[in-house]
Amino acid sequence: MDLNQKVAIVTGSGRGIGQTIALKLASLGATIVINDIGDPASVEDVVNEIKAMDRECSAVLGDVSSSSDVDELVRATVDTFGRVDILVNNAGITRDHLVIRMSDEDWDKVIAVNLRSVFLCTRAVLRHMTRQRWGRIINMASVVGIAGNAGQANYAAAKAGIIGLTKTVAKESASRGVTVNAIAPGFIATQMTEQLDEKWKEAVRERIPIGDFGTPGDVAEAVAFLASEEARYITGHVLNVDGGMGGI
């Protein structure tokens, strides 16, 4: 896979899975725009790591649930690098509660960051991708958006919405050379899962046919494929990266 001369925006890429995705795309030759709302020092570290790979990279801090921040993210990308070819909508949060205990704020915030942001970023980049008649949009869904999960009504609703949005935009943009796909990770080993109870983790592993959690690298490899020319005939698809679990 060769992403030379492609410019990629990866939201939520200051750490975690988003950082791993950004590094993978850079390793294939892409120019990277890091976006995050978090720790500027962490973002700077990612930028420096990518530049050390002899790849171009910049950072645009901002809240992707804000239309003005998204417009600035895309404007800065095009002003700096002349184009935008790949968008990875990775930014996301959780605020878990049973529905009966979930506040309006917890519902609205998760929907805004996890779903509204995907709409805003997609709309902003499509204006450029359709003009150049080439683009790749990869949205981070979840197996929770397919099967649901107790205590995550807001998160599951947002991820299910991403799947519907993905399939719809894929139909709208295919004739302009833009593919739109989603990835639905299962249980991925991150700093957050490291803090969970070992008995709980072992019980989860027993439900995964492959027998273990995935890694951020597993997700990044799937993103890289969908971003490549090799995936030109795949659009509107949801790719489960879940070890064969197929849902929760």
The residue annotated as part of the active site, out of 43, 55, 113, 155, is 155
* Residue for token pair 């947002």: 158
Q: Tell me if 103 sits within 8 A of 192, measured CB to CB.
A: no
Q: Tell me if 90 sits within 8 A of 15, measured CB to CB.
A: no
What residues contact 218, with CB distance under 8 A and at least 6 apart?
188, 241
Residue type, 135: G
155 is catalytic: yes
Taking the C-alpha atoms of residue 15 and residue 119, their distance in angstroms, rounded to an integer, is 22
Sort 22 into a burial class: Cβ within 10 Å, 0-12 / 13-18 / 19+.
buried
Any alpha helices (H) in 133-239, and if so which ranges?
Answer: 144-147, 153-173, 191-194, 198-206, 216-227
Sort 24 into a burial class: Cβ within 10 Å, 0-12 / 13-18 / 19+.
buried
Residue 87: name the closest of 164, 20, 12, 28 by CA.
Answer: 12
Instruction: Give the active site residues.
Output: 155
